[in-house]
């Protein structure tokens, strides 16, 4: 309180200020309270100042009340956490505030669930381990102690405490050494904190009932194919030992024996398995020890126990043999490879262990044998025979699976096995699936299928020495219209036929089983529709009239038609015959040459080529020709009849280009060189160059023996004195070529050129051998 005389207190006030403390803070309770408590906090100032109170993080200014001129107070209601309170002189910031920490927590719970075991480490003594539950967290610093009182025979020992550091965990434990002579112990737990203490109930233990041996130690097992022998080490002799083992992903199997031995043999194991082993032990009374650490070991291999599950599929050229991977209980070892043999061949094919199929040449009614091989030997042979194909099957599909049912033939012997195979349409060798069923089965439900996929397959009935099969095609669980149209190509053939080809849709675009293809042909606003089965890839439309056409296609499933494809355009042209003339070669028998219509200079080029054609390298003697002697009355100039032409249309004026055969004035027999000379009856101009190459066929030359006397054949180079002066430049310029008839119905002209291929003669050449056969013009057409 304030003194009635202010002067005596002045020095005290000064001293307080000099001590840098302006106040004292205290509470109406202790510094540790229970959570939820209510109390008051007081600030007593040592000098005249404006006092205030703060609390919490920040801190936060509280709404205090003044008790008197030097004291303020604040009431705390239902405290929920640890708090710090402080007092401040607002008008004297140079002075330190005074503060108070309040801790809030709970009284300790009574410890519960005390459990003790007696672990024997060596024959003379053991360790007692006790654990208990300390209860809820008090939010305060606690201390715990385990009290133990032992009894040896009739002697009772004093109580001993073992303190435990409380690290905030719910379970606490302590261990202590006990002599093997102690028979009974009593234990209890005491827990304390600033708010109070709590004790557990007293628990009495007979040590023989809680005794536990140390954990056994397992050595590395020595394993064979059917058993493993292992060594067990224990520091203290026990009366019971239990060993458990299991293969991967299996339950534990217990092997127990009361015989205490250091070596144990575990039998009834499977070959080529990875086994886990563990062990525990027990005295005649008390508890089982903890399990040992797991150890692992493989049993050795044996040759495969059963034959492979084998099947085959075939196309027109090959057959593919399939087999399923053996599980470890059958393979009894690591498969190193496969051996495949065919009854019609003596060669054994070795296949890699990673393969599940093998492509071989197709053989009729042959047996295929497949065997698996591991380090210990081969499996029994698995045989499969190329099946035959009868017809008796029912196939239905819903949204998720395909059901296949069949009827066993009444006259057939009892079957041994049914095999159902299925695969996506067109992908048998790549994605074949199958399942093997018992002899009494008459249906199979296939769920390993994808929606919007078309499947084919078969059911095979296997007998001892033969097999039959039923096949099915075009089955889908879900279908929709195709997503795309086929890619189509066209080719005009002949005059008015079009050959249409298209490619199969991608599997992802079919959306089920394709049932048909539709071809759309449009011309002049009219559209014709043609349908073709799904198996076809080509279609021919015949007898189309000349016009411009547009063509497109679509594909269909049972769910509907797909979109129309891209339109392509093609033309059927009118039949316009080529223009040109037949030239008759006078003096060459029934022979003619067709030459397309050319400009004037090209015609000169043609006649020049014809002229060079008959400038023979080996010139015959006309006097030796029976043909020349027979027609001496018309010597040197003979008109041949015009060959008939196939055209039925009226012909224009027909003129002939004559080939004159002249015999020069007679000279001495050594220098006389008769020649064959072509003399056109008109002259052509050579002012312009030819505009096109003349297509034609070759002229066939024949050689016949003549009954005339022998004459020496001389090259053309030695007969220049006998060549006529009718060179191409001297030909008449009139356009007066002879027509044999218009060339109307020839589909095309051969690219062989008579003007660049030499005439070949052999033997004794006479003029009756120099003939040009018109039929050869059309052999290559």
My answer on whether 73 and 101 are in the same domain is yes
Cβ-Cβ contacts under 8 Å for 411 (sequence gap 6 or more): none
**In this predicted structure, which of 297-306, 392-401, 630-639, 731-740 has the lowest mean pLDDT?**
731-740
Q: Do residues 164 and 172 make contact, with C-beta atoms less than 8 angstroms apart? A: yes
Task: Tell me how many degrees the CA angle 50-54-57 measures, rounded to the nearest 5.
Answer: 150
Answer whether residue 751 is part of any domain. Answer: no
Dihedral sign for Cα atoms in the order 564, 567, 568, 569: positive
Output DSSP code: residue 328.
Answer: H
pLDDT at 319: 78
Closest by Cα among 189, 106, 111 to 140: 106
As a whole number, mean pLDDT of residues 189-212 equals 91
- 411 vs 687: which has the higher pLDDT: 411
Helix (H, G, I), strand (E, B) or coil at 217: strand
Residue 187 forms part of a structural domain: yes
Q: How far is CA 434 from the centre of its chain?
A: 20
520 is a domain residue: yes
pLDDT of residue 646: 38
Cα first-last separation, the chain: 142
Q: How far apart are CA 297 and CA 273, in angstroms?
A: 8
Report the range of poorest mean pLDDT among 59-63, 126-130, 241-245, 477-481: 59-63
Q: How confident is the model at residue 673 (pLDDT cuts 50, 70, 90)?
A: very low
pLDDT band at 616, cuts 50/70/90? low
Please check whether residue 777 lies inside any domain of the structure.
no
Prediction pTM value: 0.46
pLDDT of residue 62: 86
SS3 530: strand
Residues 316 and 406 in one domain: no
Which of 115, 250, 249, 235 lies closest to 173 in space, CA to CA? 115
Sorting pLDDT into bands at 50, 70 and 90, what band is 671?
very low
What is the rounded distance in angstroms from the CA atom of residue 503 to the CA atom of residue 536? 10
Claim to verify: residue 125 and residue 203 sit in the same structural domain: yes
Q: How far apart are CA 298 and CA 276, in angstroms?
A: 9
Residue of higher predicted confidence among 616 and 51: 51
Q: Are residues 116 and 185 in the same domain?
A: yes
- Cβ(40)–Cβ(74) under 8 Å? yes
Mean pLDDT calculated for residue range 677-694: 37
Phi and psi torsions of 105, nearest 5°: -160, -165
Long-range CB contact pairs, 634-639, < 8 A, 24+: 635/663, 636/660, 636/661, 636/662, 636/663, 637/661, 638/586, 638/587, 639/586
Confidence band of 129 (pLDDT split at 50, 70, 90): very high
How do residues 476-506 score in pLDDT, each as one tens digit? 989 999 999 999 999 888 878 999 999 989 8
Q: 517 with 553: CB under 8 angstroms?
A: yes
Cβ atoms 343, 360 nearer than 8 A: no
Examine the domain organization and report whether 402 and 469 are in the same domain.
Answer: yes
Parallel, antiparallel or unpaired: strands 98-105 and 32-34 = parallel
Contact between residue 397 and residue 412 where contact means Cβ atoms under 8 Å apart: no
C-beta of residue 281 within 8 angstroms of C-beta of residue 216: yes
Confidence band, pLDDT 50/70/90 cuts, at residue 236: confident
Give rounded-to-5 percent helix, strand, coil for the chain. Answer: 10, 40, 50
Q: Tell me: pLDDT of 587 over 80.
A: no
pLDDT band of residue 550 (cuts 50, 70, 90) is very high
- The rounded distance, in Å, linking the Cα atoms of 184 and 153 is 9
Stretch 412-434: mean pLDDT, rounded? Answer: 83
The fraction of the chain above a pLDDT of 90, given in percent, is 26
Cα 262 to chain centroid, rounded: 55
Same domain flag for 368 and 397: no
pLDDT at 268 over 60: yes
Write the CB contacts of 317 (distance below 8 Å, at least 6 apart in sequence). 361, 362
Assess whether 117 and 207 both reside in one domain. Answer: yes
Count of structural domains within the chain: 6
SS3 call for 529: strand
Would residue 593 count as lying in a domain? no
Residue 59 has pLDDT above 80, yes or no: yes
> Are the beta carbons of 373 and 425 closer than 8 angstroms?
no
- Claim to verify: residue 206 and residue 219 sit in the same structural domain: no
Q: What is the pLDDT of residues 430-462, one digit of tens each?
A: 889 889 988 788 888 888 888 999 999 888 887
pLDDT of residue 727 exceeding 50? no
pLDDT in the model for residue 311: 82
Residues 277 and 254 in one domain: yes
ω before 59 within 30° of 0 (cis)? yes
Angstrom CA distances, 767 to 37, 593, 618, 651, stand at 147, 19, 12, 32
**If we measure between CA atoms, which residue out of 632, 622, 611 comes closest to residue 759?**
611
Q: Quick check: 298 pLDDT over 60?
A: yes
SS3 245: strand
Domain of residue 364, residue span: 310-385
675 found inside a domain: no
What 3-state DSSP class applies to 78?
coil
User: Is pLDDT of 164 > 90?
Assistant: no
Residues 133-139 have a mean pLDDT of 88
pLDDT (0 to 100) of residue 691: 38
Q: What is the pLDDT of residue 48?
A: 82
Split at pLDDT 50, 70, 90, the class of 412 is low
Residue 300 pLDDT greater than 50, yes or no: yes
Residues 316-335: what's their mean pLDDT? 86
Q: Does a structural domain hold residue 120?
A: yes
Could you tell me if 116 and 207 lie in one domain?
A: yes
Predicted confidence at residue 393, as pLDDT, reads: 75
Question: Do both 564 and 531 map to the same domain?
Answer: yes
Distance (Å, whole) CA 519 – CA 500: 9
Closest alpha carbon to 420 in 448, 400, 398, 399: 448
Q: Which secondary structure element, helix H or strand E, spans residue 712, and what is its range? A: none
pLDDT at position 724 over 50: no
pLDDT: which is higher, 582 or 470 = 470
| pLDDT band per the 50, 70, 90 thresholds, residue 775 | very low
Tell which of 333, 355, 385 closes a domain: 385
Per-residue pLDDT at 326 exceeds 60: yes
- If you write DSSP's letter for every residue of 573-598 in order, what string do you get? ----PPPEEEEEBTTSSS-EEEEE--
Residues 318 and 274 reside in one and the same domain: no
Vertex 257, ends 255 and 262: CA angle to 5°?
Answer: 95
Q: What percent of the chain has pLDDT over 70?
A: 66
- Report the pLDDT value the prediction gives residue 603, as an integer from 0 to 100: 52
What does the mean pLDDT of the chain come to? 74
Q: Identify the pLDDT of residue 224.
A: 94
pLDDT class for 135, splitting at 50, 70, 90? Answer: confident
Cα 573 to Cα 547: distance, rounded to the nearest angstrom: 7
Is 17 part of a structural domain of the chain?
A: no
The SS3 call for residue 622 is helix
pLDDT tier for residue 672 given thresholds of 50, 70 and 90: very low
The CATH number that applies at residue 291 is 2.60.40.10
In the prediction, which pLDDT does 90 show?
A: 84
* Region of poorest pLDDT, from 3-17, 376-390, 494-508: 3-17
């Amino acid at each position: 309180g304030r003194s009635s005389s202010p002067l005596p207190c002045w020095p005290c006030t000064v001293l307080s200020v000099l001590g840098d403390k302006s106040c004292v803070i205290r509470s109406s309770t202790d510094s540790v309270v229970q959570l939820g408590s209510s109390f008051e906090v007081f600030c007593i100032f040592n000098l005249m100042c404006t006092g205030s109170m703060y609390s919490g993080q920040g801190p936060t200014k509280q709404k205090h009340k003044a008790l008197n001129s030097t004291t303020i107070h604040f009431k705390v209601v239902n405290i929920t956490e640890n708090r710090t309170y402080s007092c401040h002189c607002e008008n004297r910031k140079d002075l330190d505030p005074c503060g108070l920490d309040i801790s809030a927590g709970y009284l300790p719970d009574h410890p519960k669930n005390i459990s003790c075991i007696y672990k024997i480490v060596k024959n003379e003594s053991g360790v007692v381990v006790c654990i208990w539950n300390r209860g809820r967290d008090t939010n305060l610093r606690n201390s715990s102690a385990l009290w133990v009182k032992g009894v040896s025979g009739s002697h009772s020992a004093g109580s001993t405490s073992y303190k435990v550091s409380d690290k905030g965990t719910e379970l606490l434990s302590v261990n202590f050494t006990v002599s093997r002579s102690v028979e009974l112990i009593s234990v209890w737990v005491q827990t304390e904190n600033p708010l109070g203490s709590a004790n557990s109930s007293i628990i009495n233990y007979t040590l023989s009932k809680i005794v536990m041996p140390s954990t056994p130690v397992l050595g590395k097992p020595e394993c064979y194919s059917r058993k493993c022998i292992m060594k067990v080490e224990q520091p203290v002799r026990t009366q019971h030992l239990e060993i458990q083992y299991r293969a991967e992903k299996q339950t534990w199997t217990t092997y127990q024996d009361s015989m205490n031995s250091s070596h144990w043999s575990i039998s009834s194991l499977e070959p080529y398995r990875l086994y886990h082993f563990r062990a525990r032990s027990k005295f005649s009374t008390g508890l089982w020890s903890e399990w040992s650490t797991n150890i692992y070991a493989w049993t050795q291999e044996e040759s495969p126990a059963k034959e492979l599950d084998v099947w085959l599929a075939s196309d027109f050229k090959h057959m593919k043999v399939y087999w399923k991977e053996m599980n470890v209980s059958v393979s009894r070892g690591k498969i190193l490879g496969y051996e495949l043999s065919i009854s019609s061949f003596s060669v054994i094919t070795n296949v890699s262990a990673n393969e599940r199929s093998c492509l071989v040449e197709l053989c009729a009614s042959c047996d295929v044998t497949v065997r698996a091989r591991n380090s210990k030997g081969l499996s029994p042979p698995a045989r499969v025979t190329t099946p035959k194909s009868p017809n008796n099957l029912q196939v239905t599909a819903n949204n998720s699976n395909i059901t296949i049912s069949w009827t066993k033939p009444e006259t057939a012997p009892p079957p041994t096995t049914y095999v159902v195979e299925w695969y996506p349409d067109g992908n048998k060798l790549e994605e074949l699936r199958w399942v093997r069923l018992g002899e009494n089965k008459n249906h199979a439900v296939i769920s390993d299928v994808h929606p919007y996929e078309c499947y084919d397959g078969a059911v095979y009935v296997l007998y001892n020495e033969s097999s039959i099969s039923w096949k099915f095609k075009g089955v889908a669980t879900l279908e929709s219209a195709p997503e795309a149209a086929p890619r189509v190509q066209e080719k005009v053939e002949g005059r008015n036929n079009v050959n249409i080809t298209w490619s199969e849709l991608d599997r992802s675009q079919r959306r089920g089983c394709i049932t048909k293809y539709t071809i759309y042909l449009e011309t002049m606003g009219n559209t014709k529709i043609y349908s073709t089965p799904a198996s076809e890839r080509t279609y021919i439309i015949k007898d189309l009239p000349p016009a411009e056409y547009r063509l497109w296609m679509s594909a269909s499933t049972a769910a509907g038609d797909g979109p129309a494809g891209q339109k392509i355009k093609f033309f059927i042209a009118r039949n316009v015959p080529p223009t040109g003339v037949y030239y008759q070669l006078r003096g060459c028998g029934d022979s003619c040459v067709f030459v397309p219509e050319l400009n004037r200079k090209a015609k000169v080029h043609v006649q020049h080529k014809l002229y060079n054609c008959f400038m023979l390298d080996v010139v015959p003697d006309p006097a030796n020709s029976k043909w020349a002697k027979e027609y001496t009355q018309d010597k040197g100039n003979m008109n041949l009849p015009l060959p008939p032409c196939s055209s039925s249309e009226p012909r224009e004026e027909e003129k002939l280009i004559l080939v004159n055969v002249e015999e020069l004035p007679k000279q001495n027999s050594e220098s006389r060189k008769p020649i064959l000379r072509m003399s056109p009856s008109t002259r052509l101009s050579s002012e312009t160059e030819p505009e096109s190459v003349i297509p034609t066929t070759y002229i066939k030359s024949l050689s016949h023996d003549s009954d005339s006397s022998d004459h020496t054949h001389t090259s053309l180079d030695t007969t220049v004195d006998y060549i006529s002066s009718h060179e191409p430049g001297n030909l008449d310029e009139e356009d007066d070529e002879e027509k044999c008839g218009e060339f109307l119905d020839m589909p095309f002209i051969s690219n062989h050129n008579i003007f660049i291929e030499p005439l070949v003669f052999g033997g004794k050449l006479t003029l009756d051998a120099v003939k040009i056969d018109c039929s050869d013009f059309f052999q290559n057409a």
